[in-house]
Structure 1
Amino acid sequence: MTDAVSGGDPYLIISSDCHAGLPTEEYRPYLESRFHRDFDDFLAGQGRRREEMTRLGVRNEAFADKWFHDNEEGLRGGWDTAQRLKELDGDGVAAEVVFPDADAVDSRTAAPFGVGLGLSGDQDPELGMAGARAHNRWLADFVSARPERHCGVALLPITGEVSEAVAEVHRAKESGLGALMIPAMWVDKEPYHDRRYDPVWAAAAECGMPVLTHSGAAPREDYGDHLGIYVSEVTWWPARPLWFLLWSGVFERHPALRFGVAESGCWWLPNLLWFMDRLYLGAHGGKKLSPFQELKRPPHEYLDRQIFVCATNTKRRELAQRYEIGVDNILWGSDFPHPEGTWPDTRAWLRRTFHDIPVAETRRMLGLAAAEVFGFDTAKLAPLARRIGPSPADLGQPADQAAVEASWARSRETGRHWLTGEDFPTLGVTR
C-alpha cells in the first residue's frame, strides 16, 4: 500500500492499542448459563482483588479518585459506542485495534474469570475459555456498529484444549473480529515452541488474524510488595513468546502468520534483533553452537515479513531507533482509555513526539502500517481522517521536508549496522 496523500493533508491515524470492556457484572448475558454460579463467585471476589492491588501499590487511591472524577464522561467510552466515537474523534483517531479491559485503574471492566489483560496459562481451562467467549461475543456486537473503525481482538486461551482454541479462532473471525490475543505466560503448560500449538498458528494464518500478546500478566506472587520488580518485568513477559516462536521455526512453517507485541514499547527490540541476527549469522560468540535448523533466513527477515510492535505511547528514544527496528514495524497506539496512554491529550502528545520526524515515516507509524497489518480499509477511513485528523503542521512538522529528511539521513543510511559486510564478510553466502 502506498501513501497517495499530499504532504500537508491530515493524518489517517489508527491506534494499534485501545481497550474496551463491559462493567464486569454486565457480561452475564454473554456467558453460558452453566457458568453463572462460577461467575457469581468471581464477582464476589472482585473487592478483595481491588484491596490487594491497593496494598501492593498497583492501585493508587488518590490517583484513582481524581482520574474517575476528571474523566467520568469520557471513560464511558470504554463500553458506550457513541461516547467512544466522540473521544476518538477528539483525539484525531480514525480507527483502532480494541483489546480488553477498559478500566486499568479499578479493574471494574474485567472480562469474566480474569481472562482480559491478565490472560495467562494458570487459569482454569474451562472457565478461561468460557470467559473469553463471553468477551468475544460482546466485542463482536460492540465493533459491529462501525466495523470500518474498529478491529476487535478476540481473547484466545490457547494453553487449554487446542481444538477449542482453533474453533474459537474461526468463530471469532465469522463474528467480525479481526485479531487474536494469546496468553503472554504459559506458566506450567507447554511453551509456545511445542508443536501442539501448530493448529492454532495455522488457523490464525488461514483466517488472516494477527496473533498478539499484551502486557499485563506477570508472576506477581514472586515480587512480594516490591512494585519496582513488577514494573521492570511487566513488558518482558509479553515479548518472551516472540523468541519462542522465532527460534522454533513457527514463522518459517507458517509464513502467513503475523505476530505482534502490544503495550510493551519497542525500546528492547534493536538490541534483541542485533543479538539474534549475530547468532544466526555466525558471530564469534555463537560459533560453538549447532546450526539453527528451524530457520531458513536471519531473524530480521522474519521481523520485516511477519512481526510488528504495537508501541503504545511511542517514545522519542524509540523513534530514534526506528531504522534498526524498521519504520513499518512500529505501530503507534493511544491506549485509550487507560491513564498511562495519550488520551485525552493525544494531539499535544503527537506534537511533542513527532515534530521532527519525516512526514512520510510519520504516516506509516501513525496509521498506514497498522492498516496493512489489521486490514483496515483506508479508502473508507479517508473522509473521516480529513475531517478529524491532525495535519503535519498541527504536529509542528514543516511544509518543506528537505531539512528534516537531511537531519535523519545518516541514521537512515546506518540502519541495521550489524548487517554490514565489515561485520559479516560472508553475509551474502546462503547458510
Structure 2
Amino acid sequence: MEKIWANSGDSHFLEPDTLWQDNLPARLAELVPRAEKDPDGEWETVHIDGMSFRRKLPTSAAKQFEALSTRAPGSGDVDLRMIDLDQEGIWGELVFPSLGMWSSSFRTPEVLREALRVSNDWAWETIDKPQPRLVATAQVSTLDIGDAVVELERCAELGYRAVFMPVTPHPLQKDYNRDEWEPFWAAAEAARMVIAFHIGTDPIDLSKGGSMGIIYRGPGGALLNYTETTFGGQRAVMKLVACGALDRHPDLKVLVSEGGATWVPFIADRIEEGYRQHAMAVRPKLNRSPREIIYSQVYASFQHDSSAVAAATSMGYHNVMWGSDYPHMEGTYGHTQETLHHLFDDVDPVIKQRITVGAFSELFPDVPALPNALTAAVG
C-alpha cells in the first residue's frame, strides 16, 4: 500500500508531571495541582491554588482508556515521536499541551500566569526549537486578559505560531464575545498567531466533583459525553463571529481541532439566516457576511469523518484539515495509513492535497515542506 503523507492539525504532548513544581518559586509551586490518593485507591484529594477537593478515582474501564490514550512511545519524547510520525506518514504536526487542562481550576492570576510561562518556555525548548516539523501551541491565562496579551506577545517573539485556547474561558472571566477580549484578538492578529481551540476544554468545577469530559451519566453516557465535546468549538466560533471580533480582524485565523468539519457550513448557514432574518435586532453590524467571515478565517480538523471530506468536495468549505489526534485512542495512531486511504483513495487529488497538506501549510508556512520524494504520494 502506497504511503500517503499528511500534515496533522491535532496532536498532544505529555509534559513531565512535576514541570510546574520543579520550576516555580516555592511559594507558587505549593499552589499548583497535586493529588493524594487514599490508601484504598478509590478516592483522592486534589490540592490546587489553596483549595482542596475530594473526588472518586476512575474505574478500571476509565483507567484502561487513559492507558490506551498515552500508549504511543512518542507521547512525551520528541525523538521517539518523530519515529512514530515517520512510520505513520505524518509530516508536520500541531501539538497541544496536557498540563494546561488544569487552567480553569486556578483562582490566583499570578500562579496561573507563571505556571503557563514555565510551560511555554519548556515546550519551546523541547518541542518547537529542536524539531521544525512540530508546531507547539503556546498557553495563556484566560483568568486575566492582560496577562494573556503579555504572554501571547512574549511567545510570538520566541517564535510561536499558534496559541491554544480552551473553548470557554476561565469561569471567573468574561466570555469570548465580550469587549474585554478585544485587546487579545488584536494582539493575536498583529502577531499572526493562530487561535487554536481544542474541543473538550470547557472548565471543570472540581469543587463539585467534576471530571474531564463527564457531563452525562447512565445509559448512553459514554457516547453522550464523547459527542458533547464537539459543541464547545462550535460555540467559540459563533461567539467570535457574532460579536464582530473576526470581522474587525480579518487577518486573524481560527482553528477548531478534533471537532469535525461538516458543522462549519451548517453554522455559517444558521448565523447567516439569523443575521438576515433578524437584522433589526442584530448588534453589532458586520462589514462582511457571516458565511464569508467563517469560510475565510475558520479552519477545522478531523480524524476519521468521511463527512468532513464532503464538506470540501460538496459544500464549498475548503479550510478542512486532517489531524491524527496522536497519541489518543480516538485518534489514528497505529492505523493512520488505513484511515488516510479510506478517506482519500477516491477523492479528487486537488481536494486531497488541500486537506492533507495545503490547509495546514497555509496556517503554518514556516514548517518545512514535504520533501519532493514524498509529495507524489500526496498529490
Smaller-chain TM-score bracket: 0.7 to 0.9
CA deviations on 1:70-103 (whole Å, 9 max, x unpaired) are: x85xx341221210110111111111011012xx
CA-CA distance at 1:64 after TM superposition: 4.9
* Residue equivalent to 2:165: 182
CA deviation after TM superposition for structure 1 residue 173, in Å: 1.4
Relative contact order higher in (CA < 8 Å, ≥ 6 apart)? 1
Q: 1:194-226: CA deviations, max 9, x gaps?
A: 111111111111111011211223466483634
- Give the alignment partner of residue 377 of structure 2, picking from 361, 368, 391: 391
2:351 maps to 1:367:
no
CA contact (8 A) 1:132 1:157 kept: yes
Task: Say if 1:133 and 1:326 are closer, same or farther in 2 by CA, change over 3 A.
Answer: farther
Partner of 2:318: 328
Question: How much has 1:295 moved relative to structure 2?
Answer: 0.8
- Structure (1 or 2) with the larger CA radius of gyration: 1
The within-5 A match list for 1:11-410 is 13-39=6-32, 42-44=34-36, 48=44, 52=56, 54-55=58-59, 60-64=62-66, 67=68, 75-101=72-98, 111=99, 115-116=100-101, 119-120=103-104, 124-158=108-142, 160-186=143-169, 187-218=171-202, 221=210, 223=215, 225-226=217-218, 227-228=221-222, 229-280=224-275, 282=276, 286-287=277-278, 289-311=280-302, 313-323=303-313, 326-377=316-367, 380-383=368-371, 386-387=373-374, 391=377
Q: Please state how far the C-alpha of 1:359 moved relative to its aligned partner.
A: 1.1
After TM superposition, the structure 1 stretch with the greater mean CA deviation from structure 2, 120-129 or 181-190, is: 120-129
What is the Cα deviation at residue 348 of structure 1? 1.1
CA distance in 2, matches of 1:223, 1:11: 37
CA shift digits 1:269-304 (9 cap, x unpaired): 222211112223x3xxx2574355431111111112
What is aligned with 1:419? none
Aligned residue identity for 1:13: A
| Offset, 1:326 | 4.0
Moved more, 142-151 or 261-270: 142-151
Q: CA, structure 1 residues 163+64, in 2 after alignment: closer, same or farther (shift >3 Å)? A: closer
Q: Identify the structure with the greater strand proportion.
A: 2
Q: Deviations over 1:210-263 (max 9, x none)?
A: 112112234664836343443332111122111111011101211221112111
Q: List per-residue Cα deviations over 1:124-154 (Å, max 9, x = no partner).
A: 4333323322221111012244442011101
Counterpart of 2:154, as a letter, is R
Compared with structure 1, are the counterparts of its residues 233 and 150 closer, same or farther at alpha carbon in structure 2 (3 Å cutoff)? Answer: same
Shift in Å, 1:352: 1.2
Q: 1:314 to 1:53 in 2, by over 3 A?
A: farther
**Unaligned 5+ residue runs, structure 1?**
1-8, 102-110, 394-431
| C-alpha distance in 2 between matches for 1:330 and 1:94 | 17
Distance in 1 (CA, whole Å) between partners of 2:200 and 2:107 is 14
Residue 287 and residue 236 in structure 1: after superposition, are their counterparts in 2 closer, same or farther (change >3 A)? closer
Change (3 A) 1:13 1:233: same
Q: Which amino acid aligns with 2:125?
A: D
CA distance in 1, matches of 2:135, 2:128: 10
| 8 A contact 2:4–2:341 mirrored in 1 | no
TM-score, structure 1 as length reference: 0.73
Give 3-state SS (helix, strand or coil) of 2:369's partner: helix
Displacement after TM superposition at 1:376 (Å): 3.1
Residue correspondences, number: 354
- The Cα offsets for residues 369-400 of structure 1, whole Å up to 9 and x where unpaired, read as 111112334xx3332x635x78269xxxxxxx
RMSD: 3.0
Structure 2 CA distance for partners of 1:45 and 1:123, relative to 1, 3 Å: farther
Task: Please name the residue that 2:51 is paired with.
Answer: none
Distance 1:297 1:239 in 2: 20
Relative to structure 1, is the Cα distance of residues 51 and 184 closer, same or farther in structure 2, using a 3 angstrom cutoff? same
Q: Distance in 2 between matches of 1:237 and 1:382?
A: 33
3-state SS in 2 of match to 1:300: helix
SS in 1 for 2:333: coil
Please report how far the alpha carbon of residue 162 of structure 1 lies from its aligned counterpart in structure 2 after TM superposition.
1.9
Counterpart residue type for residue 381 of structure 1: A
Q: Aligned-pair distance for 1:185?
A: 1.7
Shift of 1:123: 5.2
CA displacement at 1:343 relative to structure 2? 0.9
SS at match of 2:113: helix
CA distance in 2, matches of 1:32, 1:80: 26
Tell me how far apart the structure 2 counterparts of residues 147 and 219 of structure 1 sit (CA, whole Å). Answer: 31
**8 Å Cα contact 2:308-2:320 kept in structure 1:** no
Deviation at 1:193, TM superposition (A): 1.5
- Residues 164 and 288 of structure 1: is their aligned pair in 2 closer, same or farther, counting only changes over 3 Å? closer
